[in-house]
Structure 1
Amino acid sequence: MKKIYSLKLLLFLFSFLVFQVHLFGQTNASVSGFIKSASTGETLPGTSVILKNESTGFTDGAVANDLGYYQFKNVALGGPYTITVSSVGFGTEKRSGYTISIGEALKVDFKLSDKNTELNEVVIRPQDDIFAKVSPLGTAKKLGVQELKVLPVNNRSFQDLANLSPQSGVSPSNNPNIGLGGTRESSTGVTLDGMNQRFMMNGGLLPIFTVSIEAVKEYEVSTNNYDVLQGRQGGGSINVITKNGTNTLTGSAFLYNRSQSLTSSQDYLGRQIKDFNINQYGFSLGGPIIKDKLHYFVAFDSEDRSQPISVLSVTDLTTEKAEGISRANLDRFLNILTAKYGLKDKDSQTGLFSVKPASRTYFGRLDWQINKFHKLTLRTNYSSQNSDFSAYASPDNAAVKESYGSHEISLFSTTLSLRSQLSSKVNNELKLQYLKAQRDFIPYSNLPRGFVNIASTLSDGTNVTKTFQFGGNRIAPEKQGEQQLQLVENLYLQTGKFNFTFGTDNLITFTHTLNSNEQGGLFQFASLDDLDNLKPVSYTRLVPLKPESGYSPYLDQTAFDVSAYAQMEYSINPKMNLQAGLRWDATIFNSKPAYNPLVDKVLGKRTDVVASDYTNIQPRVQFTYDIKGDQSSVFQIGGGSYSANIVHWAQLSNILQSGVNLANVVYPSNAIPKPDYPAYRQDINNVPGVPAGAALPPAYVNLIGDNFKAPLTYKANASFKQFFNKMYFVGANVYYAYTTNNYRYVDLNLRDQPNFRLDNEGGRGVFAPVDKVQVAAETNPKVVTYPINYADVTAHPELSRVLALNGDAHLWQKGVTFEGGVVLPNNGLISASFTINNSEDDNSYNCCIARTTYSSGNIADDPRALDVNRGGANTDFRNKIVVYGLSPQWHGFRFGFKYVGISGNPWTPVVFGDITGDGSSLTINNNKRAFIFDPATINANPNATIYEKQVAADLVKLMNNADNTASDYLKSHLGQMAKRNEIYNPFWHNVDISVSYTIDNRIFKNIGKNRLVLQAQVFNFANLLDKNAGKQMVVSSGNQQLLKAMGLDPFALKQGRTIYAYQVNPTFGQLVPNNATSTYQVQLGARYEF
């Protein structure tokens, strides 16, 4: 395998290394303009133009085309830049002082005199170059060195910076991925110096510092860039450009601290915050090795933190409600686990613990100006993090400590570059990157998981039921390894009146991963009594047929993402510019799953088909109208299509779940093994697998569907920006997007039609025969997780679930952003934006395990019916306000702040229990939308059963409960099925501030360029002022269970009616803090610079 792996690597390199090697950070910045005669106004074709970065000595040359138009593409950020133009018979003019920022289209026109042949020099003052300080047109947000230094950036992280974008949504605190405009997180591109930084397995960022902020020159979030260089994205992209050394020796060293004495003493639930401490420290150094020839820049960033985590910490009524269990039942739960399940040291299994992740980031860069035609760059970046109580190896439910795990994560990338000017009309760049990522999840226990439904009466009399977990972890152990090679070739050609771009962007990914998902086994218990009596209601396990160390073998996969593109740019006149291009992308997985003859025979589908899509042709066009010709009033309109990344996990699931690697063991209810956890703790091989002497059960299968394609997004926008007095600006952007071919899994073995329908729930379909659905007990009924057996809903009993990956889901997005601000002297800025957004889809599956498709779109009955499932996307937000600013320095003091206010994520009232049968054997029991029964209708029925009457009484009580944030929704939808994602969590506000004081040569004259910056930052500043402010309130678990199924109503069956018996969740709609420990934190620090 290693030899094959190396051979593929060499073949890839050989096939693309046919040009001189060179790479340059893709900045999307340009410098352009028209050159005319000052006396006649005629254009001057053939005029020579030289662009020079005075800080590094880098130069580039161009010649004005037939229209007198010149352009420099992909200009390196920073400055100051000097532009020198000269023409035979005319004077030479030189303009200097320009600073280039990411995404900027700097326009500099010249009028040359034929009467003055001497050098005419103009110096641009920083305060005059205001366009470099403001984000470009469209829904984009850029941040430069000044913003990164002055603004408070929580945890120095990518995610916190992305929150300043008008279109970034709300992500869970443990989710490193970023959705833009309500789209799937996997549709967001992430690049470092123009090269991919995404972990292709899940299509997002690794949960660590991708790069040190100390090494970031500029940061941009963009959603409406129609350049063909923008690829493998749907919602937008995050682009980061790193710092380089200059002719001036510069450096920094910093130390920041947050500690117990600098934060709130209690969290939002009133629990004491203990052992809290964060130390961030590092340095940077850059300068010349050879002036104007060879420069270096290095940076180191480190973070050591200790922070509290609550693991079933129940001490009073508030924490009972937060955890959903009474103290008495928690004690009983722990006592049973100790006495009968071998749990050790029960007192160490719950309470407040300390998480102590350690993060390190190293960065280095060399820039070599070989000659005036070639520049070589080498950039290397390494990040790592180790942590206990990993948020990414966490249990499925509220759990004891043994169900958690730790993680070890690392990311290494190195990039080599050479930018070449081949002639006055031809520039070329070729980018080559190697990236290696490793993400390992290590469980605290390898035991089978145990789920227990526990009904509690809290100290205030509230009745609650919640699922709790012990034993092992579904996700861990998992070892995800990935290596990438990327090569990008871009050629820029000027011919006549047009500027052309031709290129190709190619990525090959090698994956080597251990996936143990569901292979440890799962016991489920209906109550604490059943747990005490060793009587589970179900046992399931995906049993490896050829195990290695107890799990299925490592999965190996190779995938190719290739592209080609061409673009034309035409400056119609000094005020109008037209850009049009065409891009083609293809994705090819060449690692085939095993062939399963039974699936082919029964369904006519082959499991040995790989995911591939060669059809993504993406036209793009953009028109820019500079109304006054001076960039002060600019209108822009554009549109095009974008092919998004295919998450590699999907194909890995198909390799693993071909039906020949794992046995899908589902024990019948009359033969469930007795849970012997003491024996499992002694030897994990004692965990039940395929029953001795029994035939293999029907296989669970994943495969590629007939209409699989990569997601394709069509988007358009129109934007306008107006500057006043070279100080104030306002703007607006209207946008629309439609995504087709969104991937999701569809069950090919689910019966075509329901077996019967529930008349009292709007005709909801149930796929099992009535006599196969579990009936609720007439006395002391219990909540039933799976009232239906999967064998009773399959079309072909020889097989279990057969999930096919198809590209038939959709997403619709529309909105408008208004912005305004003021550019202050001495690098000061205030910027504000307000966004109205609406993102809808019919399935929000993003990644990773196939069965999670079913938990990504709350349904009525048939998961295949997308047309009735359109609603707010899981990542949708409706409104967002962003205000941030940094003041000019005043007597050494400088102030920075940022405010982000955003509407909460949408959620749906759901039923606990698989009442239709679509999720049985998939461990999906929470994806059916609840029917909101009308108490008046029930009470008017003389034949209403005791269960129905209890539901009516409890719903009335629930709707009158002041703590139920969804009471109005229930009242307005009586007698209807809840719509998908129509209820939104409350609007959330967050304010962070920063104050710094600089000690420099204005105070001490003899210290030269040395300076010391003392800084204080407050994160969640509102909470410092008010202990109840600043918390993000949400309903727990993403969606809320309105009803809990107990089986078919036995009394209604005697009447000839087929309905379910339900319990009403009395805590439905009640809000809890999303992160109870996210109270205010004060950070103090010092930064030395020279």
Structure 2
Amino acid sequence: MKQTLKKFIMAAMSLFVAFAAFAQVTTSSMSGRISEADGRPVVGATVVAVHTPSGTQYYSITDNAGNYRIQNMRVGGPYEVEVTFLGFGSVKSGNIVLRLGENFVQNAVLTEEAVSLSEVVISAGINPILNSDRTGASMNISTREINTLPSISRSITDFTKLTPQANGTSFAGRDGRFNTVTIDGAAFNNNFGLSSNALPGGSAQPVSLDAIAEVSVNIAPYDVRQSQFTGAAINAVTKSGDNNWKASVYTYLRPKSFTGEMVGDAIVKGARERESQMYGITVGGPIIKNKLFFFVSGEYEKESSPSGAWEPSTNGTVDLTNRISRTTVSDLERAKNHLMNTYGYDPGEYQNFSAFPSQNYKILARIDWNIARNHKFVARYNRLRNTSTSLTNASSGPSGVPRSNYSRVGEKSISFSNAFYGNENAIDAFAAELNSTFGSRVANKLLVSYTATTDPRRTSNSDLFPFVDIYKDGDPYMSFGYELFTYKNQVLNNTLSVTDNISINLDKHTITAGLSYSNIYVNNSYIREGTSYYRYASLDDFINNAKPTAFGVTYGYEGQDIKGVEMSFGLASAYLQDEWQVDPKFKLTYGIRAELPLYHNKLIDNPGVAALDFNGYKMRLGEWPNSKIQINPRVGFNWDVKGDRSIQLRGGTGIFSGVLPFVWFTNQPTASGTIQSPEIGLTDNKLPADFRFNPDFKAQVAKYPSLFPPTMSSTLAKGAALAEVDKDFKMPQIWRSNLAGDFELPGNMILTVEALYSKDLNSIVQQNKNLPNPQGVFTGRDSRPYWTNRFVNSDVSSAMVLDNSSKGYQAFFTAQLIKNFEYGFSGMLAYTYNVAKDVTSNPGSSAYSAWTSNLDAFNLNDPALGHSNFSVPHRVVGSLSYRIEYARHLATTISVYYNGAASGRSSVAYSNDMNGDGAVSDLIYIPNHKGEIKFRDVAGKMTADQQAEKFMEYVLNDKYLSKHQGEYAGRFGKVNPWRNRWDVKVLQDVFADFGTDKRYTLQVSLDIVNAANLLSKNWGLYKKSGLANNYDVIMPLKYMGRSATGEPEFTLNATDIANFDAKNQLINQLTTGSTWGMQLGVRLVF
């Protein structure tokens, strides 16, 4: 069966050249039933719908049941519809607005006299929920909502957060990297996945909000045309021109005084360095009336943002409240003087950092062409150029070298400014769509798109110099040099696409069939520690030229420049679906989608790797995974219980497949040692006795050819970090179901109650095949395993394998009340409760960092099911908007957005590596009483008994820990404090027609985010434990070793009891995320 289906797909795909497609819905539709007064169907009636602004016409003929359906209609409106049939009067209706991806039902009864329904028709925009096409969890954001709801970043994500099942960029408890985003139906994804942002473009928004007409979020669409996600499908359609000339010019300004700086009684240093200016223009209109239209948008933005860096101390004392690090000014000055005097290298500044600059420009142009009554064509081009600056990587280092749970910029450490890095992002995207109808029953849509991105290209202000970490007391203390992942770092990502859907109306059935073929080309130049990496136990060791505690490097063979690794990935898809209108009240949608991943480019095997054995596992780096078809059946239903859409039950179940961030795929060729050397990470016990610092990284490689082979050979370099994709690997896949009821209430309100459940079929997990079985077990109550040797092959630092797991699920329950727009009012309020669990959030872009950054009590190669980092158990979200026109020429709009939820989740773990697996990722054991855990004295500071008493006090006073005594802490088991966030927008319009048939409007807007903090410095704040690091890992204890009887022994993660008490409290986060912010806008519309 599978072979037959595979051959069918490939044969069908031969109709196309090798293109790529992740097409989603870009249009709307209309359907209904035409009958006589006695209910008998009218067969052969003509239905004509006209998009009045552009004159675009659509038509259909009723079938034997009196039904009609018009597909691929332009989003928006208003539309006028006329139904005619010989011997009857015509029926006309108007003021119909079509929403993205939705079917508007327009029924009509023909009589002998003409009837106009213009005054009684309710537009589709007023009631998008109670319609027959709605089955799964979804959300539509209209132009009105985009224009009136608060937004300072002017990002699509400022509006998708209205979705009740959302949490930032995550939906339904899934990693935001598993969403798919389309613009006008064409894929517009952050395919490479270096961040959780679903959109490409780095820190910039790739498409101006003023170019977006409407946005939809689909979490459980049972339409098989929607694909390539296990989170959510986010689809935006751009604005288009029509017969009316329209233009706008605008600016958004955020001066330094428009950012709050007070968090409680503390000042956020650098907050008032934030400022931005944005300028834009839009123009749209006819080229040929009723025939050809255009729309263009241009926007430029310049911004300065606080660096977020901590300041050094004068006395080595940490001040969490004021973000003062333990790193001293004197030590930083000492290091800088040594670097400049000895090596002639200037590391930059270490305090009073300047604000980080960024700027971008973006343009979009669109053409709409009514070729003929049955053929409509759309073409769109958009472009982005963006530059920005970022802090040093937080804590990653060479694979196989233990990393710290503390950041390079934070309470423990300071980085010099030349260790920061820049990003350059570039996007050029083109999409074209042809919508055709053939007679009254057949509709076809052909979509072709191409997107070329450079996302990102890293830059540095530093001279070429090794990156150096200086430690103190086992934790980071200072860092300097050329940022360790920036040298020649660049990602090219090109997507070429085509898809074709055909729909046939067969009375009660609408059959849809489609084919697509996808090709994503990636070129990843990624050289970890490309200028080399050194770690020292102390500043004195570095200055005195002692042997480093760790070294890392990646280099080109035979002195050649390093080239990027390539990947060419294809995805062939075929799908078939039937929408069956069983009766006027019940619609059943069922279909199947088959997807076949294809790996086009050849890989080179490394004989040195092929010769290795990892406890019976052999790595084959010269092969991609096997291509395996994934079958995705889906079925959904919609039941109009009473026949008047006052009560609607809907739901469905189905399988959804996505794609993973391609950075994890390119880990394999990058680490294979065939294009360049594998990353080599060596600790001091593997370095020669005479190994010393050398500012010339190429000379260091040349000096030790036995450590750093100049060519690929059968002998692998010691300390090599390897990565592979398992040969049976499958793309992410879930089984998702939902059941919902929509109830019409008085006052034009709708109550929705919805349950959503997702089960992982193929989730993503990393395994280190070079980690052997544990060699021992701790004695005492905490009897977890430990390693005394963490290498199967001592010459390999890690051997990562990307694999699948079927563990994990997400359950969501939502109650939502929506007030549709009426008398100037609109709004919504929703409450969501959820439980989401997985085995890992894959917190890293490299395989090794994703593995070591996961948390578990026992074994990272078999992590236990734990709470997802992508959801919080309770969320309340709401919005309210009111518009009033008065005094003939004035209008005021006030909108409020509210989000109430916990500010994430936390894990409780040890501050260092307890079990010896090389990862600082060990969740704590929570004792029943102080005798279950042993402490060591800290000489002159605190006794073991004092620490035991203090720790039990900490456990008993913690809501989560006290409920789980006698257990191991769960991954992200602890819920962070609740936070209330209020955003406000005020719009003031002044308008006049000046004796013409057009309205000219001057609009002034003010957006206020976190408005509660504007009212009180103690409101709207982010809080977290002072014992937590930047990754929400709370670290109350430090592992000190085993006792004579094999029990683990600890100390409090503090210098003394008073220091522990100071850290063991909720600390206000001194960032601009806790303060209010405002933005002033001025817009002229004509």
Q: With structure 2 as the length reference, what TM-score do the two structures score?
A: 0.87
- Counterparts of residues 1011-1026 of structure 1 (less than 5 Å): 1011-1026=1001-1016
What letter corresponds to residue 799 of structure 2 in structure 1? V
Once the two structures are TM-superposed, the CA of residue 1072 in structure 1 deviates from its matched residue by 4.2
Give the letter for the 2:364 counterpart: F
Distance 2:683 2:844 in 1: 28
2:873 aligned residue:
878
Once the two structures are TM-superposed, the CA of residue 481 in structure 1 deviates from its matched residue by 0.7
For residue 808 of structure 1, what is the amino acid of its counterpart?
S
**Pairing partner for 2:601 from 566, 570, 591:** 591
Contact 1:25 1:76 in 2 (8 A): no
Q: Report the alpha carbon displacement of residue 162 of structure 1 after superposing the two structures with TM.
A: 2.1
CA distance in 2, matches of 1:519, 1:449: 9
Look up the equivalent residue of 1:187 and give its one-letter code. F
1:89-113: CA deviation from partner (whole Å, max 9, x where unpaired): 4333222210011233311112222
Secondary structure of the structure 1 residue equivalent to 2:855: coil
Is structure 2 residue 417 aligned with structure 1 residue 423?
no
The equivalent of 1:245 in structure 2 is: 241
Q: Which residue does 1:735 correspond to in 2?
A: 756
Q: Is the 8 A contact 1:107 1:631 kept in 2?
A: no
Distance of 1:702 and 1:277 partners within structure 2: 43
Shift of 1:75: 2.6
Which of residues 220, 225, 244 in structure 2 aligns to 1:224?
220
The alpha-carbon distance between structure 1 residues 594 and 698, as it changes in their structure 2 partners (threshold 3 A), is: farther
Give, in angstroms, the shift of residue 513 of structure 1: 2.2
1:555 maps to 565
Q: Would you say the 8 A contact 2:770–2:792 is kept in 1?
A: yes
Contact 2:658-2:731 within 8 A present in 1 as well? yes
Residues 400-409 or 512-521, more deviating: 512-521
Contact 1:609/1:703 (8 A) holds in 2: no
How far did 1:286 drift?
A: 0.6
Provide Cα deviations, 1:945-1004, integer angstroms capped at 9, x if missing partner. 77998455335335646xx997343444455422221112112222111112111128x7
Question: Aligned to 1:662, which of 677, 680, 684?
Answer: 677
Give the conservation status (yes or no) of the 8 Å contact 1:286–1:295.
yes
Q: How many residues align?
A: 1018
Q: In the alignment, is the contact (CA less than 8 A) between 1:938 and 1:949 conserved in 2? A: no
1:1086 aligns with 2:1082: yes
CA distance in 2, matches of 1:907, 1:516: 32
Q: Deviations for 1:903-949, whole angstroms, at most 9, x for unmatched residues? A: 22222112233333333xxxxx321212345663169x8x9877998
Q: Distance in 2 between matches of 1:935 and 1:533?
A: 47
How many angstroms apart in 2 are the aligned matches of 1:690 and 1:162?
A: 55
**Which residue pairs with 1:320 in the alignment?**
319
Distance 1:328 1:721, change over 3 A: closer
SS in 2 for 1:931: coil
Deviation at 1:805, TM superposition (A): 1.5
Provide the secondary structure at the position in 2 that maps to 1:331: helix
Alignment partners' CA distance in 2, 1:576 and 1:185: 34
Q: Aligned to 2:1018, which of 1028, 1046, 1070?
A: 1028
Q: 2:18·2:517 contact (CA, 8 Å) conserved in 1?
A: no
Post-superposition Cα deviations, 1:199-231, rounded to whole Å, max 9, x if no partner, equal 322283222212111110001222121111110
Partner residue in 1 for 2:801: 804
Alpha-carbon contact 1:314-1:320 (below 8 Å) kept = no
Question: Does the 8 Å CA contact 2:173/2:836 hold for their aligned counterparts?
Answer: yes
Q: Deviations over 1:724-772 (max 9, x none)?
A: 3462221111110111211222122321x2111111362211122xxxx
One-letter amino acid of the counterpart of residue 698, structure 2: N
Contact 2:135 2:222 in 1 (8 A): no
Q: Is structure 2 residue 1072 aligned with structure 1 residue 1077?
A: yes
- Counterparts of 1:1070 and 1:161 in 2: how far apart (Å)? 34
Distance in 2 between residues matched to 1:183 and 1:123, nearest whole Å = 45
Match of 1:760 among 757, 780, 783: 780
Q: Does 2:59 match 1:61?
A: yes
Query: In 2 relative to 1, CA 747–23 (structure 1 residues): closer, same or farther, beyond 3 Å?
Result: closer
Q: Match for residue 789 of structure 1? A: none
* Mapped partners of 1:876, 1:160: distance in 2: 18
Flag the 1:78–1:531 CA change in 2: closer, same or farther, 3 A.
Answer: same
Q: Distance in 1 between matches of 2:347 and 2:727?
A: 52
Residue 390 (structure 1) shift: 6.0
Match of 1:493 in 2: 504
Indicate conservation of the 8 Å contact 1:1017/1:1083, yes or no: yes
What is the CA–CA distance in structure 1 between the aligned matches of 2:530 and 2:984, rounded to whole Å?
47
Cα distance between partner residues in 1 of 2:286 and 2:686: 77
Query: What is the match of residue 458 of structure 1?
Result: none
Tell me if structure 1 keeps the 8 A contact 2:223–2:591: yes
- Partner residue of 1:433 out of 449, 455, 470: 449
Amino acid corresponding to residue 899 of structure 1 in structure 2? Y
The match for 2:949 among 956, 964, 969 is 956
Q: CA RMSD in A?
A: 3.4
Change (3 A) 1:493 1:436: same
Worse-matched range after superposition: 504-513 or 328-337? 328-337
The structural deviation recorded for 1:710 is: 0.9
Task: Write the distance in 2 (CA, Å) between the matches of 1:901 and 1:465.
Answer: 36
Q: How high is the TM-score relative to the length of structure 1?
A: 0.87
Q: Please tell me the residue identity of whatever aligns with 2:1053.
A: V
C-alpha displacement at 1:874, in angstroms? Answer: 1.7
The 2-side partners of 1:725 and 1:926 are apart by: 57
Partner of 1:685: 698
Partner SS, residue 713 of structure 1: strand
Distance change in 2, residues 1:238/1:31 (3 Å): same
How far did 1:72 drift?
Answer: 2.3
Deviations 1:235-274 (A, max 9, x none): 1111101111011111111112111233325567413534
Q: Which moved more, 1:588-597 or 1:336-345?
A: 336-345
2:211 aligned partner, one-letter code: A
Separation in 2, partners of 1:468, 1:1041: 22
Shift of 1:156: 0.5
- Which of residues 646, 649, 654 is equivalent to 1:640? 654
User: Which of 433, 439, 443 is the equivalent residue of 2:460?
Assistant: 443
Residue 78 of structure 1 and its aligned partner are, at CA, apart by: 0.7
Which of 87, 90, 100 pairs up with 1:92?
Answer: 90
- Output the CA distance in 1 between the equivalents of 2:296 and 2:873: 42
Distance 1:288 1:611, change over 3 A: same
The structure 2 residue matched to 1:292, chosen from 286, 290, 293, is 290
How far apart are the structure 2 equivalents of 1:48 and 1:969?
A: 66
- Please say which of residues 644-653 and 21-30 is displaced more in the overlay: 21-30
Indicate how the Cα distance of structure 1 residues 928 and 592 shifts in structure 2: closer, same or farther if over 3 A, else same: farther
- Counterparts of 1:33-112 in structure 2, within 5 Å, are 33-38=32-37, 40-112=38-110
Q: Report the CA distance shift for 1:913/1:859 in structure 2 as closer, same or farther (over 3 A).
A: same
Structure 2: distance between partners of 1:89 and 1:513: 68
Structure 1 residues 757 and 274: alpha-carbon distance in aligned structure 2, compared to 1, 3 A threshold: same
Deviates more, 1:67-76 or 1:926-935: 926-935
Identity, in percent, stands at 21
Where do 1:798-877 residues align within 5 Å? 799-825=796-822, 828-845=825-842, 848-866=845-863, 869-877=864-872
What is the match of residue 523 of structure 2?
A: 512
Partner Cα distance (1:308, 1:15) in 2: 53
C-alpha distance in 1, partners of 2:70/2:147? 29
Change (3 A) 1:224 1:352: same
**Residues 860, 521 of structure 1: CA spacing in aligned structure 2 closer, same or farther, 3 A cutoff?**
farther
What does residue 726 of structure 2 align with?
A: 705
Match of 1:1001 among 968, 971, 992: 992
User: Corresponding residue for 2:1053?
Assistant: 1064
Q: Deviations over 1:16-39 (max 9, x none)?
A: 55899999983363311122221x
Shift of 1:574: 1.3
Q: 1:761 to 1:441 in 2, by over 3 A?
A: farther
Give the partner amino acid of 1:448: P
SS class of match (1:130): coil
CA distance in 1, matches of 2:815, 2:61: 39
CA deviation string 1:492-544 (max 9, x = no partner): 11124311110023221111221012444332333455455444652231432
